[in-house]
Structures are given as C-alpha cells and as structure tokens.
Structure 1
Amino acid sequence: MKSISLAAVTVGYGDGPPVLREVSMTAPPGQLTALTGPSGAGKTTALRTMAGLLRPTTGEVLMAGQSRRAAPDAGRVAFIPQGNGLATVLTVEENLLVALAAANVEPAARSAAATALDRLGLRDQRDQLLEELSGGQQQRAAVARGLVLAADVVLADEVTSELDEPNRERVLSLLRSEAERGAAVVLATHDPAASEVCDAEVRLRDGRVEQLR
C-alpha cells in the first residue's frame, strides 16, 4: 500500500492569506494518523489538499513518494467530508453505487455496497432516500461510501461528530480495520478520545505543524 504526504505545502483559498504554511507531514500505510488542532487550524484544508481538491501554492502532495500532480492516478484516495457530501435525492445504496461506478469498480458493486452498509449498521436503510435519515445515519452512510472503495488512502474529516457512543466506536473500529488492511488513514478530529486511539498525531495551529506524536 501507499503513504500520503504533504511536503512543505502552502495553500489558501483564492486571493486570501494561506491557510496552510509550509506544512510537512506523512501518513504511512497501515497506520491511523490523527490530525488535530483548534478550529481554523487548517485540518480540513490539509485533508482536501491530500485528496487533490485543492492545489498547493508551493510544495507537493506525494503518494508513495511520487508527486500526485505528476502522477494523479498513482493510487486511490477516499475522502469522507464532515458534511457527508452525499446526494439527498438518491437512496443510501445508490450513493455507494455511484461512488463505485465513478471509481470503475462496477463488477460486484452491489455486493460491495451491501457489505459496507452492513458494517455501518445501515442494512435496513439501504433503500431509503438519504434525506429521510437522521444526521448520524447520514454520517455513517458517508463513511460507508468511503470504505466501499477499498482505497490506498482514507481521509476522514470529523466523521464521529454526529454519532452516539456505540456508533462512534463502530466507526473508529472500521477506520482501524482500514489501516490493518494496509491503507494510510488520516482522521481529522476535535475529539481527544478519538485521537488517543490513533497510532500517531499531527497537531496543527494557525496553519503550521505545532506538534508530532
């Protein structure tokens, strides 16, 4: 599997000031890495940059040591956003099938989607429209969509924030399983209990790396 790295990355939005300033960090394969820091520290921006949704002003995003700009197909990345990013007019299962089709994982896609929903306790909701679900169920559906891709890198943004304790533990256990499968998993979180179960921690403050564990 493959690592994901930011190498001296500076990035911002439009003409505004940089949100990340020369940030360097690496999430190795087989490891669960917590990305922590106060609100506005740059956690979501770091994940979006790793996912290829933002282009650095300076520096590079690397996968297994290769520039993602030069080799955008070097590996599969799954990004699970805080706001879930799912289509409310589709059913839960359809949201997963669309993600699989976009990633050209069509054979056995329905079976893979069913397995992912079972892992998140959403078997009975698979045919419901997303807009009919609670906030916590929608968040779990977003996690299922990220996990169904069996990606090299899994980037999860505050994915436990809407969840009760049993489902929070379920999601953290599944992220751990992804790391054990060999994926590089990065979890941006405000939750100290979530960061404590991670193998490593990168703490951001004011767009810079403040501390590594």
Structure 2
Amino acid sequence: MLSLHGVSVGYGDAPAVLTDISVTVRPGRVLALTGSSGAGKTTLLHAMAGLLRPRDGSVTVDGKPLRDRDHAVEHRIVLIPQDNGLAPILTAAENLQVALTADGATPPEARQQTAATLDLLGLCGQANQLVEELSGGQQQRTAVARGLALRGDVLLADEVTSELDAGNRQRILNLLHDEARRGAAVVFATHDPEVAAACEAELHLLEGRAEIVRG
C-alpha cells in the first residue's frame, strides 16, 4: 500500500509546490487526482513514483519509506508519464517489449503480452510503426499500453487521455478500472470532470493543498 503523510514537495530552492499532503492509495480503487493546470498533479505523482523526494513528511510503500525510483520499481509502482516517455526510434511494439523484458519476461512472453495489450488499445495496426511516425493520440495510447502490460501493484497515470477522442477516453478509463478490479491501486491525474466523476474517489489540488472530494 502506498501512503503519503504530511508531504511537502518542491523543486530546488523555490517555494514548495505542495504542502502537507496526506493520502493513501488503496488497492482495488481508482483515485482521480484533479486540479487546474499548474496545481501540482504531476509533482504529486512524481513523489508517489519515487522521482521526487519530499522536503517534509514521508511517502511509504508497505509501511516503509520510499527511497527512490528504483525502490518504487521494486515495489511495482508503474508511472505512465504525461510526455509518454517512449523511445521515438523504436516501434510501438518494441517499446513494450523492451519494458517487459527488463521486467523479467522472456522474449516470447514479451511478444505475446505486447500483442495482447496493443490490441486492447486498438493499436494492432500500429505495432510495427516507429513511435515518431504515430499521431499524438496513438503515442498516448502506446504509453498506456506499456504501463498496463507491466501489471503494476500501483499504477500512476498522468493526463493520459488529454489527446484522445471520447471513445478512446472511455476505453482507457475502462482499462484503468479493470486494473483496479485486478487489485491494483490506480491514481489517474485528469482535468476532465466527467472522467474524474467516474472514479471511486477524488483528491483535488488547490493552492498547494489537497482535499478529498469523494472517497
């Protein structure tokens, strides 16, 4: 279980972006992380993912302090970043296969899981295209596919529907709920109120603070 206790985070010597944030990310649920642009959604996800060390308070996983990103990966905390984080000179399929192989899958397992997950995202036809040849929406769906393929215990998704049409937004929302039903804890940063309303709980960021709106 991933928990934040009185966490304050910021960058360099600048004032803290977020102050005194406490929340527990619960298995089997989708938590919507909302707030205006610049409210700190990405900053909070980075703290949850072990990419940003808190100035105050603590981030714990299974009751122990989260040390860094490597420690988060060991505890199967998967981050789907807003900028997709894909290698542009690899194909969509290769991006998934590299991640799965690094996670311990055999090459045949990685190929099988890649094909199945790309199919879930409607990307079978783009499997062998270079990422740099894909549209923004296709790249976003490829990044989601990679995150889903890793089957994390905690899945952090940062604005992963921002470039998608209504049909694909709903497809991804359904898949995130499928992950929760599998037992994962899901945090979904979104500026879309309809998407947020479809989640079991909502944490809203405003002026550096956080408020549980639902759940």
Gap runs ≥5 in structure 2: none
Gap runs ≥5 in structure 1: none
Report what 1:53 is aligned to. 51
Report what 2:77 is aligned to. 77
Q: Cα deviations across residues 10-40 of structure 1 (Å, max 9, x unaligned)?
A: 1111111111111111110000000011112
Report what 1:129 is aligned to. 130
Q: Distance in 1 between matches of 2:116 and 2:66?
A: 30
Q: TM-score, normalised by structure 1?
A: 0.94
Report what 1:116 is aligned to. 117
Q: How many residues align?
A: 211
| Contact 1:75 1:152 (C-alpha < 8 Å) held by counterparts | yes
Q: CA deviation at 1:96?
A: 0.6
Q: Cα deviations across residues 141-172 of structure 1 (Å, max 9, x unaligned)?
A: 00001000010000001111100011111000
Q: CA deviation at 1:124?
A: 1.0
The sequence identity of aligned pairs, in percent, is 58
Report what 2:89 is aligned to. 89
- Give the secondary-structure state (helix, strand or coil) at the position aligned to 1:59: strand
Report what 1:102 is aligned to. 102
State the one-letter code of the partner of 1:120.
Answer: L
Report what 1:191 is aligned to. 192
- Give the secondary-structure state (helix, strand or coil) at the position aligned to 1:190: coil
Instruction: List structure 1 runs of 4+ shifted beyond 4 angstroms.
Output: none
| Contact 1:40 1:206 (C-alpha < 8 Å) held by counterparts | no
Q: Distance in 1 between matches of 2:145 and 2:187?
A: 16
State the one-letter code of the partner of 1:149.
Answer: L
